[in-house]
Amino acid sequence: MPESKMANSSVKSYAALSSVPYFSGLDDVVLSAIAAITGRCHVEPGEIVFWEGEPCSGLYIVQSGWLKGFLTSPEGREQIVRLLGPGETFNEHGALLEDGCNLVTVQAIEQSDLWMIDRASLLALMDQYPALSRKVAQNLAGRVVHLMKMVENLSLRTVEARVALLLLEQSSIEFGRRRWVTQAEMAARTGTVPDVVNRTLHKLEKDGLIRIARHKIEILDREGLIQKTSHRG
């Protein structure tokens, strides 16, 4: 992210940070110290925030909009690791690694406003405030759990089970309102290809579990869909 796009405003960033679950429980002194070094930027749909393997700029917080974090194979196939929405943070892994490199590529999928705490300043604050270090460690532990569940899904569940689980997890947020949630995006999140997702969705519809409409997938039989998620490959 070009530094010219960053603008610092400690008052606005304090208000934003105090409402982020990631920083819940920190006192005003710590929040004020974080806010003083936090910059803000705006990204357009399709714009890359940072690339996998590049030097890490710091820790990001989503104020508004949606982004995706993904890995890319040599053939150009994407595996989406996370979707990032308002109030979520990302790239603490890169900020804490000794080589300070980004682990994934992050791209905006709609207009988004971000806050960013630069890497050097974050590390200095963690040394100064043990409460912040504990908070970062707790959130990293949560990320590990998330990745372990992703490994389980990709390696042990069938494609049908992975698609069913994705529908259950995201139906109320994305599939009812987010026009950017395409079958290609679903494929990138479930470790398969769009044609397979298309066939899987139509099978679930034929089984009476969902109804497919333009820009919307309606769940008709939640219990039946839950049963599908237990299928192992």
In this structure, what CATH number is given to the domain that contains residue 67? 2.60.120.10
- Please tell me the predicted confidence (pLDDT) of residue 175: 43
Check residue 176 and give its pLDDT.
Answer: 41
Quick: pLDDT tens for 100-117: 899 999 999 999 999 999
CATH code of the domain covering residue 222:
1.10.10.10
Domain count, the chain: 2
- Whether residue 28 is found in the same domain as residue 134: yes
Q: Which token pair is 134?
A: 């504990």
Judge if 187 and 75 occupy the same domain. no
- Ranges 9-23, 29-43, 149-163, 183-197, most confident: 29-43
Question: What percentage of the chain has pLDDT greater than the value 90?
Answer: 43
Phi then psi for 108, rounded to 5 degrees? -75, 135
Task: Kindly report the three-state secondary structure assignment for every residue of 147-163.
Answer: HHHHHHHHHHECHHHHH
Contact (CB, 8 A) for 93 and 103:
yes
Same domain, 182 and 138: no
* CB contact set of 8 (below 8 Å; sequence gap of 6+): 37, 38, 39, 40
Does the pLDDT at position 127 exceed 70?
A: yes
**Domain residues for 197?**
158-228
Please give the model's pTM, rounded to 2 decimal places. Answer: 0.73
Query: Mean pLDDT over all residues of the chain?
Result: 85
183 lies in the same domain as 108: no
Helix (H, G, I), strand (E, B) or coil at 76: coil
**End of a domain among 132, 153, 174?**
153
Same domain, yes or no: 125 and 191: no
Quick one: average pLDDT of 146-157?
84
Per-state percent for the chain, helix, strand, coil, to nearest 5: 45, 25, 30
The residue from 100, 134, 153 where one domain ends is 153
Q: Which of 205, 183, 150, 110 is nearest to 142 (CA)?
A: 150
Of 153, 178, 208, which marks where a domain is finished? 153
Give the pairing type, strands 38-43 and 7-8.
Answer: antiparallel
